[in-house]
Structure 1
Amino acid sequence: MALVGVLALQGSYNEHIAVLRRLGVKGAEIKKPEQLDTVASLIIPGGESTTMAKLAEYHNMFPALREFVKMGKPVWGTCAGLIFLANRATGQKIGGQELVGGLDCMVHRNFFGSQIQSFETELSVPELASKEGGPELCRGVFIRAPAILEVGPEVEVLADYPVPANTWKNSNPGVEGLEDNSGSEKKVIVAVRQGNLLATAFHPELTADTRWHSYFLRMTTETEGASSSIVAVGADLNSNQQTKIDLPVFL
């Protein structure tokens, strides 16, 4: 059974591993470049993106991560992981940060503001529901979250979120594309897929809804060509568990 790797330099990697375990799949902590050779797919969790980037650079992870993406292996970035996967990023700290790239988008690093402006909301996710069943809404947990402002033609938008135009301008002065907005609100993109890459601005691992993880596991089985390569005996990826669980909230 192939392992699902979870980048474990910093952030909510334990929460992702816990969800994978609930689905009958083993998640492996990835802390060194050579460990990527042992996994079929990779989750880059949420956390503090600048800190994660510094740790990844210290451990010489970036060349291996870029090669992993180029090989076509499935990679899912949540929150800070989304920033890692983006080809372009704005709103970074002075000096910027190194990116893995591969995802044809422009991401705003801290679009929704500071820690105290974190929030939860319901998101419309018809594509997720069509593939994994369950309701066409999912709970989105946004913690100092980024947002995608632009995507390329090969990027499929899986979820977006409406933001008042005045809030955009006041919170994000100078962000390209906002000044020309003529309506009262505009949508930012918060979930996308491009080939082997999946990215969410929010934290599915902090909810009881396992469908995003199931969706990612199906991406892996599509790449591998056989579900037995990753799913343990008895695991049911069609199950949409709604039972309330006590997961720690990552800050």
Structure 2
Amino acid sequence: MAIDTTSDPHGRTLETVSTTFEVLNVLMENDGAKATEIAQALDLSRSAVYNHLTTLKEHEWIVNCDNEYRLSLKFHQFGIFVRNKSTLFSTAKPEVQKLAEETGETAHLATEQHGYQINLLKVTDKPAVADEYHTEKLQKVSYHHDTASGKAILAFLPPERVEAIIDKQGGLPRKTYNTIVDRDELLEDLEETRERGYAINDEEEIERLRAVGAPIRDNAGNVLGAVSVSGPTSRLKGKRFREELPETVMSTANIIELNLNMKNRITSADEPTPENP
């Protein structure tokens, strides 16, 4: 990602930082890489790449294993710290665990940041279909349009934000034969989601896998995230898929919303005021 440095006296420093992040992205996307591979991927000289790698290694952000560079576990520490500091995560975690136990399926907690779906938690009550795939999702950002939690979030965002998210991800990439790839069709689906209060994923992300998701909102109606349940089409079908699970998922979302509201009230009450310093 090129940065314009013509009008910014500190632009060269910002450009260097930007390149460092690009190096980190290459290491993450490839699960490690050699300096020459990074240089080729970013169209940089090997000496320039080595400068970034040396700095990252000195600050313990990467490790060198047989001339292949990998991200260090320092990222794990930061990731866990950020997630655990999330009020949404700490409040929703016990309810997501209960949801998995009650349904016998895989329950998820997700939110939106920078236009992508961030998967905060996955709880499986028993060995689940596509378990490896869902575990991998926790390590990556995802698009919204092909998941139940993602569509539940999009449905309650401002229309201009939805358009910006679709544009940022380059449209609506197809995952399966059921993925919604037409913008107008997606907007209609989101309208239906708003009307009924929950979203469905009918083999739109993975074939033979369905999901039901509901938004988590604050008192002002702002969407904070979504909770969902996924499982194989052999179990998520008929009345269970269209009626029972939606009620259960929406109930879980409502409980999380109530608990968040109570936490916010307690926090507000503890804040000093002119009358109660």
Indicate the TM-score class for this superposition, using the shorter chain for normalisation.
under 0.3
**TM-score normalised by structure 2 residue count:** 0.24
- Of Structure 1 and Structure 2, the greater strand share is in 1
**TM-score normalised by structure 1 residue count:** 0.26
- Of Structure 1 and Structure 2, the greater helix share is in 2
Task: Indicate the structure whose relative CO is greater, using CA pairs within 8 Å and at least 6 residues apart.
Answer: 1
The structure with the largest alpha-carbon Rg is 2
